[in-house]
Amino acid sequence: MRKWSPLLAVCIGTFMLLVDVTIVTVALPAVAGDLHASLDGLQWVLDGYALALAALLLGAGALADRHGRRRMYLAGTVVFAAASLLCAVANSAGLLIAARFLQGAGGAAMFATTVALLSVTYSGKDRGVAFGVWGAVNGAAAAAGPIVGGLLTEHLGWRWIFLVNLPVSLLAVWFTVRGVTESKGRPGTRFDLPGTIAFTVSAAAVTFALIRGGEAGWTAPSTSAAFGISAAALVAFVLIERATEQPMLDLRLFRSASFGTLMVAAVLVQAAAFAYLPFVTVWLQEFLHKGPVDAGLLGALPMSIASFVVAALGGRLLQRLAPRWTVGIGLLLIAAGDLLQARLTASSPATALIPGLVVAGVGVAAVLPVLSSAALSAAPPERSGMASGAVNTFRQLGFALGVAVFGAVFSHRLAAHQDPRAGVADALNQTLFVAGGLALLAGVLVLLLVRHAAAAPSAGRPVAPATSGVTAAATSGGH
């Protein structure tokens, strides 16, 4: 048992932090009723966590390489647990949002170390087993988030979706202290603090602008100012990364058209496949009067099951095909699934979304595992850790931006209707049309621009833990 303590520590923590990306989704109506949160406030409850996770992931990997991965994982777990407690006792939407940002910071510190910890702990067949189990846990988190959130919200209350993290965090700490040995990256690794700050400010400001624009208008001073701050911070980030010897993200990677296109695909697939699901929850609970459990089952399970089945039956075949075709066609399937769902009327039943969710799930199974390995193949070997970390960063950023964009589309369309039931169906249709368009755009770009067809890394191969403690999870699901 002691042999597998590090794997248990990593898997428990990974499952917890990835579940928390979407576990809140089905609890949003309950949160709104209890804390009197507006639609933009609810979007920040989701986006605060995803933004912090995305913005700090690469920087946390560099810090872990310098100061110790075990130490970083433990510190992240403690921060995550403390933030979860703050979420559970929050008496206002503002405090809940702030605690979600803190949760994301802890989650980034944990997630940034997972692959490196497994890579230095296991070798040979044991490494293959460890990475296989870790990948399965990532996939399970996708299906479990809305379902676990629904069960806890319906039977115990929404605050329990955060309180449950406390005993899970204790388990992760116990197994880490018991079985994980300390490891570090190469000497002299530096934390790119200016780059991390600039990236965080740019991502947060553009997300604020998108959410604010949907409420106050796109020409409002606050919206324009936020867009301006985001653009200025992005320019600063580019200048910083070009000037520093040890950048958080080496911009030379984007000289490869294949790599740059795959990063665009990472952003758009996360938005197109998952970021509209919170608004599906609003439709199911507020207008079809489904409970949180039913909302979790109807809104997430069909996609997760389809994705799991396809990945299990065809995973090896998908990895053998050229990434251009697998990722490109998978994105087109996601687009088809989104558009298939966009046929709702005021009288549509809750099951109307299932066919589209299944088609989108097939596309997700094709895209996500291959997207990760394709990004590694499109980058130089010495930058494989940074490339894999970039996939995770851009995927989480895609979810945050997607929620913001779809929130603006949804609220604008809803405001144009007198009949709430017909209005929410039309607003959700419009949201799904935009999601489908994003997936279609990403699919076409991949088919046209991705040319690199190198073989995917073998299962269990360590992914440059010395340069970054992060890899993209080859999983199905929204994380």
pLDDT per position as a tens digit, 12-34: 998 898 888 888 888 888 999 89
pLDDT over 90 (residue 356): yes
pLDDT over 90 (residue 100): yes
Q: Residue 464: what pLDDT? A: 36
Reported as a single tens digit per residue, the pLDDT across 216-271 is 788 889 999 999 999 999 999 999 999 988 888 889 889 889 999 999 999 999 99
Average pLDDT over residues 121-130: 79
DSSP state letters, 387-439: HHHHHHHHHHHHHHHHHHHHHHHHHHHHHT-SSHHHHHHHHHHHHHHHHHHHH
Q: Residue 93: what pLDDT? A: 92
Q: Residue 25: what pLDDT? A: 86
Please report which confidence band the pLDDT of residue 186 belongs to, taking 50, 70 and 90 as the band edges: low
Please report which confidence band the pLDDT of residue 447 belongs to, taking 50, 70 and 90 as the band edges: very high
pLDDT over 70 (residue 315): no
Q: Residue 458: what pLDDT? A: 39
Average pLDDT over residues 262-290: 91
pLDDT over 90 (residue 312): no
pLDDT over 50 (residue 354): yes
Comparing 91-100, 112-121, 315-324, 389-398, the range with the smallest average pLDDT is: 315-324
pLDDT over 60 (residue 462): no
Contact 30, 154 (CB under 8 A): no
Average pLDDT over residues 350-359: 93
The more confidently predicted of residues 473 and 178 is 178
Percentage, residues of the chain above pLDDT 90: 36
The more confidently predicted of residues 177 and 64 is 177
Instruction: Report which of 184, 176, 199, 182 is spatially closest to residue 63, judged by C-alpha positions.
Output: 184
pLDDT over 60 (residue 469): no
Most confident range (mean pLDDT) of 234-248, 293-307, 368-382, 385-399 is 234-248
Instruction: Report which of 282, 368, 268, 388 is spatially closest to residue 323, judged by C-alpha positions.
Output: 368
The more confidently predicted of residues 363 and 138 is 363
How many alpha carbons fall within 13 Å on the CB side of residue 109?
21
pLDDT over 60 (residue 395): yes
pLDDT over 80 (residue 134): no
Please report which confidence band the pLDDT of residue 305 belongs to, taking 50, 70 and 90 as the band edges: confident
pLDDT over 60 (residue 460): no
The mean of the pLDDT values for the chain is: 84
Q: Residue 452: what pLDDT? A: 54
- Residue 319 tokens, joined: 């990895």
End-to-end CA distance of the chain: 29
The more confidently predicted of residues 117 and 82 is 82
Q: Residue 310: what pLDDT? A: 82
Report d(CA 91, CA 41) in Å as an integer.
14
Q: Residue 248: what pLDDT? A: 83
pLDDT over 80 (residue 463): no
14 in helix, strand or coil?
helix
Q: Which amino acid is at 236?
A: A
Query: 38 φ, ψ to 5°?
Result: -85, 175
- Residue 342 tokens, joined: 């966009």
Reported as a single tens digit per residue, the pLDDT across 44-69 is 998 889 888 888 888 887 788 778 88
Comparing 123-137, 184-198, 465-479, the range with the smallest average pLDDT is: 465-479
Q: Residue 334: what pLDDT? A: 95
Average pLDDT over residues 321-332: 91
Q: Please return the burial class of 286, using the count of CB atoms within 10 Å of its CB with bins 0-12, 13-18 and 19+.
A: middle
Comparing 94-108, 325-339, 373-387, the range with the smallest average pLDDT is: 373-387
Q: Residue 308: what pLDDT? A: 78
Q: Residue 86: what pLDDT? A: 96
Q: What pTM did the predictor assign?
A: 0.84
